[in-house]
Amino acid sequence: MSELRWNPVLEEWVVTATHRQERTYHPPADFCPLCPTRLGAHPTEVPAEDYEIVVFENKFPSFRRMPHKPSVEGDDLYQVRPSKGICEVVLYSSKHNGSLATSDVVDIARLVDVWTDRYEELGSLDYVDYVLIFENKGEAIGVTLEHPHGQIYAFPFIPPRPARELESAARHWDSKARCLFCDIIEREAADGRRIVAQNDGFLAAVPFFARYPYEVHILPRRHVASLLDFSDDERWGLAEILKVVLQKYDNLFGFPLPYIMVMHQAPTDGREYPYYHYHIEFYPPNRTATKLKYLAGCESGAGTFINDTLPEETAATLRATAPCKLDPACGERGAGAEDRGEGRGKGEGDAKGERAADGEAGGEDVGEGRDGGEAHVGERSAKVKEARRDMHAQ
């Protein structure tokens, strides 16, 4: 049973989904329902012996294409609606122990294409007002299936946080005749202290107003509202910068960093949103290698976040974390790098999935060569263009 219940105090919908209590919880190591179905083995959710990317509807969804009738009757104060919508699971790879951070750029670019396809198809449904693409990674976030995967929720309404962004972006647009997010990009680029990584099409930064110590936002330099507005080069550029940020996260403390990754893009309710700007937000819960940020009284009760760190300092730490040479603006080692030592920042990079020998998953492949990296730029460009042509030709 699942349904929507209206909170008249906060004026927002709450989803009740009692059947989710029965969802798979940390299955045995020898059986993963998201791995391929091996010959002669027990069938999984994927009836194939191998795959690149798989999308299927969640068996324990918060929203349903054909929802049940609500369990209670609503009234003018306590409104109730069927939870009509769609919940999908996106499997990034057939490799059980992989992740986006260890994926090749060409594989991430293929995933960007899949995200684009799902946003377009789900958003075209007349009952879907918002398509939320996200990933929960790590046990600290509450993930119960280790296989690398993300999710897509097709909402029958615009969720509260995107709705607030839309309102603030509209006010900024009306008062200044400019995009709020374009102004943020311009300010961050001019300041430079909070930049973590950047390429021709995208900027990644710990925002001035970060709520989590190592929160990172990725924003396209060009004003685009959704994945549908991206050029082929921009899709590839997004894959590149995702690779960089995710490698930095995994190298930050020497283990795969848990995080929530959420895409913010224009609603699909049929209205025009010329003032909105696509972006991705990462919320890692770690404030140190051994300490998590919990959402306690002030955050959960009052809705006000308390950040125990300075965004300028955490950005410098991430900027200095391998892969660390992106361009002259981001190549300098920042505060906090000395505490980790040169070994963590450079020497250990190859052992943590960078594979500098072939450059496919390493810093050079995303324009971040370590010592002497600039000599690889031309060679790297030829490689990625060839890979991109091969991918789109398939």
Peptide bond into 323 cis (omega under 30): yes
Rounded to an integer, what is the distance from CA 19 to the centroid of its chain? 26
Angle at 365 (CA atoms; ends 363, 369), nearest 5 degrees: 40
Amino acid 280 reads I
Q: From residue 342, how far is each of 150, 243, 316, 330, 372 by CA, in Å?
A: 33, 21, 15, 17, 16
Q: Which residue has the tokens 């009836």?
A: 47
Close Cβ partners of 218 (under 8 Å, ≥ 6 residues apart) = 202, 203, 204, 238, 241, 242, 245, 279, 280, 282
Residues with a catalytic annotation lie at 149
For tokens 């060409």, what's the residue? Answer: 106
Amino acid letter, 300: S
